[in-house]
Copies of this chain bind each other. A is one copy, B any other.
């Protein structure tokens, strides 16, 4: 038994840089036609030159694979309309990080002052540049995303022509407001479709499932599944796959991030099949993103076959999600 996905897209991916980039980019490049590359390097990608040279480094590493890195800039409050116009041909989106909410977000935005930032959002609206947002406040860890919903609502109302993408949503609250505003869209990760806080800290502590936003409650997971499994037109797949070296994960002060890239399509196929929704997977991992981002990805067919395999314990000193566990579907090499 097998089926084919046409040009799957990962609309939220951390490829890192240097050795890590060299080691891990292939896992995405093999199985996806393209991915939106996150700009939170150190220092972040905030100008066209560094964006283009990062893109070049990525292309070098994935050469031989049919894979498009869609680039994004790290939102800065001093971007001008002129700069955005110049950047437009090179970017698929701009990613806004509130300061300090996740890995390498220190130079993010202290306070989202809609009035002050209005010229940027207006220019982005006119240029049709989507605004991707890491939507968390600095509040209590289980409330951060819910608290941020007010900001999403303000943005959606103030800039009705701005395409706003709520990245890696994790809560019922986000699922709700997504439906309420025409210009709100969302990405959903693999892990938030499959785990809750119980998997992170309910039994023994599992650093490999520690991520930001942190996995929430069962009812939240169900709300996300409802959107993804039915391929709601406003959601698309974005893995937020974010590798860290094993000794950065298995120690005191473990960094947030789950390395899901090596198992994404297998695990998604298993989830969608379990719910009798396999026919919706194409829309969730590709078509919806094409519509929202107005993308025409390269032609690339990925065949999944029903064939059990065991996820390796480690890949280049990074522990992948579900390491050592078995999955039912496998990407045909």
Question: With an 8 A cutoff between CB atoms, is A200 at the interface?
Answer: yes
- With contact pairs A142-B197, A217-B140 given, residues A204 and B250 touching in the complex (Cβ less than 8 Å): no
- With contact pairs A142-B142, A142-B197, A217-B142 given, residues A251 and B250 touching in the complex (Cβ less than 8 Å): yes
Q: How many residues of A contact B (CB 8 A)?
A: 27
As for how many copies of this chain the complex holds, the number is 2
Question: With an 8 A cutoff between CB atoms, is A210 at the interface?
Answer: yes
Residues of chain B lying within 8 A (CB to CB) of residue A140: 196-198, 202, 217-218
Question: With an 8 A cutoff between CB atoms, is A135 at the interface?
Answer: no
Q: Do most interface residues of chain A lie in helix, strand or loop, or is the interface mixed?
A: loop
Contact of A252 (CB < 8 Å), options: B142, B198, B201, B207: B207
CA distance A182 to B252 in the complex (A): 42
Stretch in contact with the other chain, from A42-50, A253-261, A295-303: A253-261
Q: Are A204 and B142 in contact (CB under 8 A)?
A: no
Partner-B contacts on A (CB < 8 A): 140-142, 196-198, 200-202, 204-208, 210, 214, 217-218, 249-256, 319
Beyond A140-B196, A205-B254: 11 further Cβ-contacts under 8 Å?
A: A140-B197, A140-B217, A140-B218, A141-B202, A201-B201, A204-B254, A204-B256, A205-B255, A207-B207, A207-B254, A250-B251
